[in-house]
Amino acid sequence: MTQRGNDSASGRRARGRTTLRQVAGRAGVSEITVSRVMRGSPLVAPALAGRVRRVAAELGYVPNRLAGTLAGHASTQIAVILPALSNIVFAEVLKGLETGLEARGYHPILGISNYDAEHEADLIRSLLGWQPAGLVIATAGLTPQSRAMLTDAALPIVEIMDSDIDPIDMSVGISHRGAGAAMARHLVARGYRDIAFIGHDLSRDHRARARFAGLRAGLGRAGRALAPARLRLCPSSVALGCDMTRQILARHRPQVICFANDDMAIGGVFACIGAGLAIPRDIAVTGFNRLDIGQAMPAPLTTIDTRRHEIGRLAARHLIARLEGDDPPSHSDVGFVVIPGATS
């Protein structure tokens, strides 16, 4: 007495949802025909297709993508792993990604690593379990284990944000070291000598660390020393930038303060204004990322545009290209842009 079989129009539903079989039964055709109609196959007579579509709509049939993917081949889910979302930067990358994926019928499954490499490895494992068609990751520092899982998984992978890497498969980003160096050149060209650096916890954020290294090296090559960096072991924020700037200004006024990113720099600008300093007359300030707010300030922030929406867009595009059999470039540098602003 198993209750399998053609319960057709009887109304029984697996897990409360209409199945292919029910639509087929009600329309008086076979399951495969319904399947073809739902996937827009041209192999079905238009009249029949119309009828099937009508029945499917009546029954509120929604194809089960789980079963479809298991039986067919390609999933349309894409695993996306980011280190954070508190910063608008990754939200914008994600926006670019989602737009690019959604437009082609793909859906992101999201994981946030919190800049924790171990957690990132767990995320990779669990998201791979969904058999995604591809994976996009802004790394928190791949563990050897993570790297092995990704290599073995044999699916298209785009490592985003940083182009100074040897990607497992593809990369889309900018050179963070190069961005630091570019900022150094900018400052050297303007003749600054007494240069300070304020940052957050760089031990977990390797891209910010690379920018810092690039900045220091760039200044060093030009014979300028960077004052010992002031770092605080917590996430970056406007308030932190403001607070640390006040501390520096309490004992000394450098010609320039470079901040790890725009959030911190905006806080720094507020602190300078609060201290009665005119920017850039009394002190110069630089950031990184080119947040809209920084550019809308009375004196637009000196910063570097990281073109993150473009990073998301391109990552989606290359991933899809690969999935469709094309051969996109394995390294894509979207190119950063130095924004002189009015604060240096």
Partner DNA sequence: CTGTTAGCGCCTTCAC
Partner DNA sequence: GTGAAGGCGCTAACAG
Could you list the residues that contact a second copy (CB under 8 A)?
15-17, 60, 62-67, 69-70, 73, 75, 77, 80, 84-86, 88, 90-92, 94-95, 98-99, 102, 105, 107-112, 123, 125-131, 148-149, 152-154, 237-239, 242, 263, 266-267, 270, 273-274, 292-293, 295-298
Cβ–Cβ under 8 Å, residues 91 and 85: yes
Give the nearer residue to DNA in terms of CB position, either 38 or 55: 38
Nearest to 145 by CA among 168, 165, 179, 122: 122
Given the structure tokens 């000394």, which residue do they identify? 252
| Measured distance CA(191)–CA(182) in Å, rounded | 14
- Which two tokens mark 279? 């920017």
- Torsion on CA atoms 213, 218, 224, 227, rounded to nearest 10: -20
Which residue, chain included where needed, has tokens 């119309």?
A: 50
Of 38 and 264, which has the nearer Cβ to DNA? 38
| Alpha helix segments (H runs only) across the chain | 20-27, 31-38, 46-58, 65-71, 88-102, 117-128, 144-153, 176-189, 206-221, 238-251, 262-274, 292-296, 308-323
Q: How far is the CB of 59 from DNA (least distance, A)?
A: 11
The site partner of 4 among a second copy, DNA, none (C-beta below 5 to 8 Å per kind) is DNA
Which residue reads 């914008």 in tokens?
Answer: 92
Residue 163 found at the interface with DNA (CB under 7 A)? no
- Confirm if 296 and 267 have CB atoms less than 8 A apart: no
For 342, residues 6+ apart whose C-beta sits below 8 A from its C-beta are 279, 280, 299, 300, 302
Q: Does 21 bind DNA (CB under 7 A)?
A: yes
Considering the complex, what minimum distance in angstroms separates the CB of residue 27 from DNA?
Answer: 9
Could you say whether residue 64 binds DNA (CB under 7 A)? yes
Residue 148 as a binder of DNA (CB under 7 A): the answer is: no
Q: How far is the CB of 109 from a second copy (least distance, A)?
A: 5
Pick from DNA, a second copy, none: which does 344 bind, CB < 5 to 8 A by kind? none
| Binding window for DNA (CB under 7 A); candidates: 38-46, 95-103, 248-256, 259-267 | 38-46
Count of CB atoms situated within 10 Å of the CB of 326: 10
- Decide: is 72 part of the binding site for DNA (CB under 7 A): yes
- Regarding 9 and contact with DNA (CB under 7 A), the answer is no
- Assigned token pair, 193: 């000598």
Smaller CB distance to a second copy: residue 163 or 286? 286
Compute the least distance from the CB of residue 76 to DNA, in Å: 11
Which residues have C-beta within 8 Å of that of residue 6, sequence separation ≥ 6?
21, 25
Answer for which of 40, 60, 71, 325 binds DNA (CB under 7 A) is: 71
In the list a second copy, DNA, none, the entry touching 45 (Cβ below 5 to 8 angstroms by class) is DNA
| Distance (Å, whole) CA 291 – CA 261 | 9
1 touches DNA by CB under 7 A: no
Residue 324, contacted partner among a second copy, DNA, none, CB below 5-8 A by kind: none
Choosing from 8, 9, 68, 201, the residue that interacts with DNA (CB under 7 A) is 68
d(CA 185, CA 126): 44
Task: Write the DSSP string, 232-289.
Answer: -SS---HHHHHHHHHHHHHH---SEEEESSHHHHHHHHHHHHHTT--TTTT-EEE-SB
Q: Which does 191 bind (CB under 5 to 8 A by kind): DNA, a second copy, none?
A: none
Binder of residue 95, out of DNA, a second copy, none (CB less than 5 to 8 A by kind): a second copy
Q: Report the interface residues with DNA, using CB under 7 A.
A: 2, 4, 13-15, 17, 19-21, 29-33, 35-36, 38-39, 43-45, 48-49, 63-64, 67-68, 70-73
